[in-house]
Structure 1
């Protein structure tokens, strides 16, 4: 599918056909182009083709979509579609003109159509047009597609039209399909590349980096309006999906509180994120920054045991910290800012937070930031419900604008992770490069594909230290176990610091949670081998600001896109 997502602004009929073709098991070798602009139209100043479907060995079909709930032909011959104004230019004429415009363009580009059926059809996605429209010399009956065709199978309907159209051409043009109709696979790819070519704008990598950094800073500043709108509330939960600026808002909120002379804490869950935040905010007076568990270790004045399991971190350590605070040996803070709250919102941890801040959870100054979509990869239980029970004054502010990812990455995340409502607006301008999903066979060494992915990113202008390799596997990932000599020379385990030039960092998705990189390659995406796969997939994909390549097991990719494994 090109592009790999259907925009939210598309008409409902286009969304329905897009979804039907994308989820079909019979369209793997098809190329479907959605919304092709036509600058040199045979009749108008410019036009558009809703869909161009290229089927190897069958032909090319240009489809005009009509989503209207009613169709009518007036006495004067004009068409009346739904609530639209009557028009003398009917949908079949629109489809035919779009088809001939594209055919003329392809012919000028030396595409040989001598045995390639190029046809047009109209798809009335909401009505049973096949039984409503009368027989007429203005169109062939096989050019009419309707809601029943969509329901019974969009792929079979397209094949039926191409077969009928090819038979018609055989009757009119002697030996048209002799030797079998085209296009073959190579010609199909060529037609697609001519109609929707990939191109690279003339911008040097340094300019691209500066523009990206400036964009991200500007968009985050605009997100600060969310803080301003909640300034009169004493306790606020800012909730939104990955990329909506929660961590940077948490940083800004903590700095604002400290600037007013208050003392407080900025806590998070992820160790590497805590390390980075502590480095950035270490000089802010009155502000303590780190992870929750670092804070608890310091409070309890203990070191973690070498064999300490989940029971130590989840129960024993919080209880030790609570004992210290109840003994009156701990000064409460004026405010509490917590990022990644979805990962630490348990009853015992909330008991700790209640004792940390003046006024407690019921009346203290609280600013919580969390993603309750699919990013709670460490949480057990309903954290949002617990927060509301323990802090009745807590009000919510939803963040739905994505200021991190390019739109094509965000749209893929919306589709794959089934976010509800998901991203409703993207602040960054798209650059026309689709995320890449490369299939592999379960058990296959992905090293060669990983090398290809990194080299592709290098060709696109990204330095090695701007690329991060992520895996859902805590041990035994492709980056960790590869025998490829070049990879072994450049790979470095991510420790929270910026990579040096020439270094290619790798980490688990768990460790990189809350962080981001210009280009990300996610490996080892096999849902049968990864517990909590959907949440980890969501977190991993949203780490990329500009380029995303995913190496995904072949059955898994069909499952996450809505098909059957």
Structure 2
């Protein structure tokens, strides 16, 4: 049996009565030619010339043999005729309807020349043996040739169908030009690549990422209405998981308070997040945006306090917070009407006490803490937050992450479950690597591909090292790199999971997976990507984080 492409005819071909002649030829070639023949059925082609013209065609059958070369066949069903007055080819079906058709000889010749040109581009100037022919199963052999370009020897009629396999072999093995050469093994491979080569394109995710980003932005902006319900609460703890819109609401609350004439503080623990908040908030004389320890240092300096310069653990845990309380006591004008804390789970109770004492009026001042009780990477205290009135509208929807990212991160969330509201998004990509060096190379190559193909900008990407032991330098994948606390325009952020806490990027790569040893850190690492998350590490670490088999 000949090797056929396709191996079986599609259902839509088998059910089409107009293709009955082609089906008959297909079955005959498949069943009667030997295994050293290959046959390609219904191969379309497109060609452009140097003058801007474009041409389309289709070869009904291309028969290939390593020694005997190529045979291009055109099949026409019905009773075929050619009108003498204008050389118009016609076919008449069994219901006696007549239709105009293109010359099958011309069609076969054009296909032959097109594919020989394609082969020449791959094989060089080798003069490959090639023939063309026509099969007319519904017509009997006439006495004379059909036309000058259609002598009997290149046409098979209904009379020949019983021995069509022999006709094909004879047609391909006929008189040879001395210049002709066999198709050869390399020719067989080249022809298969042209006519039947499998391909799988890499998805260009730029458009889908853009659509997902717009949907997430729309969902997040809709959260602002919740603030209208908070006006009657002077002190409030607002809880929600990663992606629930806490930071967006914290910023909106701070801006509204400042524009309402209240001296307002928006603060957080993490320095990179504080820098991010400062960039997002519009400048306003009533609004102070600062990291907690930076605020303590700044106010103690304004109040003229002398504090220890020994920057040890006690300096940050106790000295600076106590200096904040002393500074606002010495200079009451430094106090605030509204204090808003983002990522409040990172604060020690004593720090929150210090911030509350920075209010101008403990009875009328507003004190809001936005927090996620599943992300206590920097503090494991919680009695202060627990003592605050809880929000009557919990932030229970994940608006920032795609559903597929949410499915991974939510496995590691130990608080109240959130509901994904974002778009479906791309699959979470995994790259199994044998070493850290290979993981770095894989991520660098992916970044280079995403950026050079225009799917993402460097500023859309973050690389998070969970182990904290990989040094990337100032370049990754051909793009400039920066730290999370010194974000530069059009740079890929490269930092640790802990330092990137509270921040996000459209695309995040996580490496050093062996460093993700507890649920909280895994949760933070997998929730930083808005729309594209990729993990690179050992198979065991990937299986553990993705919860394969559980």
SS of the residue 2:533 aligns to: strand
CA distance in 2, matches of 1:237, 1:227: 13
Matched, 1:399 2:388: no
SS of the residue 1:462 aligns to: coil
540-549 or 219-228: which moved more? 219-228
Question: Contact conserved, 2:484 with 2:500, CA < 8 A, in 1?
Answer: no
Question: Contact conserved, 2:413 with 2:519, CA < 8 A, in 1?
Answer: no
- Structure 2 vs 1, CA of residues 562 and 470 (structure 1 numbering), >3 Å: closer, same or farther? closer
**Which TM-score applies when normalising by structure 2?**
0.57
- Structure 2 vs 1, CA of residues 420 and 552 (structure 1 numbering), >3 Å: closer, same or farther? farther
Question: Contact conserved, 2:274 with 2:289, CA < 8 A, in 1?
Answer: yes
SS of the residue 1:453 aligns to: helix
Deviation, structure 1 residue 235: 1.7
Number of the residue aligned with 2:508: 520
Number of the residue aligned with 1:366: 367
Question: Contact conserved, 2:429 with 2:533, CA < 8 A, in 1?
Answer: yes
Matched, 1:548 2:533: yes
- Structure 2 vs 1, CA of residues 295 and 396 (structure 1 numbering), >3 Å: closer, same or farther? farther
Question: Contact conserved, 1:453 with 1:549, CA < 8 A, in 2?
Answer: no
Number of the residue aligned with 1:269: 269
| Aligned partner (choices 435, 441, 448) of residue 441 of structure 2 | 448
CA distance in 1, matches of 2:306, 2:275: 18
Question: Contact conserved, 1:516 with 1:545, CA < 8 A, in 2?
Answer: yes
Number of the residue aligned with 1:348: 350
Matched, 1:339 2:335: no
**Which TM-score applies when normalising by structure 1?**
0.55
CA distance in 2, matches of 1:526, 1:202: 30
Question: Contact conserved, 2:307 with 2:319, CA < 8 A, in 1?
Answer: no
Question: Contact conserved, 1:521 with 1:549, CA < 8 A, in 2?
Answer: yes
CA distance in 2, matches of 1:436, 1:248: 28
| Aligned partner (choices 423, 430, 434) of residue 427 of structure 2 | 434
- Structure 2 vs 1, CA of residues 409 and 563 (structure 1 numbering), >3 Å: closer, same or farther? closer
Matched, 1:465 2:468: no
Matched, 1:413 2:415: no
> In the TM superposition, what are the counterparts of 1:51-450 in structure 2 within 5 Å?
205=206, 211-301=211-301, 308-327=311-330, 329-344=332-347, 346-360=348-362, 364-373=365-374, 375-381=375-381, 383=382, 385-389=383-387, 391=388, 393=389, 395=391, 397-415=393-411, 417-426=412-421, 428-431=422-425, 433-441=426-434, 445-450=438-443
SS of the residue 1:479 aligns to: coil
CA distance in 1, matches of 2:233, 2:525: 33
CA distance in 2, matches of 1:283, 1:371: 27
- Structure 2 vs 1, CA of residues 328 and 261 (structure 1 numbering), >3 Å: closer, same or farther? closer
Question: Contact conserved, 2:410 with 2:523, CA < 8 A, in 1?
Answer: no
Give CA deviations for 1:132-173 in whole Å, capped at 9, x if unaligned: xxxxxxxxxxxxxxxxxxxxxxxxxxxxxxxxxxxxxxxxxx
- Structure 2 vs 1, CA of residues 541 and 328 (structure 1 numbering), >3 Å: closer, same or farther? same
Question: Contact conserved, 1:233 with 1:395, CA < 8 A, in 2?
Answer: no
Number of the residue aligned with 2:116: none
Give CA deviations for 1:287-314 in whole Å, capped at 9, x if unaligned: 1111111110012117998861322111
Deviation, structure 1 residue 213: 4.7
Deviation, structure 1 residue 259: 2.1
Root-mean-square deviation (CA, aligned residues, Å) is 3.3
Question: Contact conserved, 2:522 with 2:545, CA < 8 A, in 1?
Answer: no
Number of the residue aligned with 1:511: 499
SS of the residue 1:257 aligns to: helix
Question: Contact conserved, 2:439 with 2:537, CA < 8 A, in 1?
Answer: no
CA distance in 1, matches of 2:308, 2:441: 40
Q: How many residues align?
A: 349
CA distance in 1, matches of 2:344, 2:298: 20
Question: Contact conserved, 1:518 with 1:546, CA < 8 A, in 2?
Answer: yes
CA distance in 1, matches of 2:541, 2:203: 34
213-222 or 404-413: which moved more? 213-222
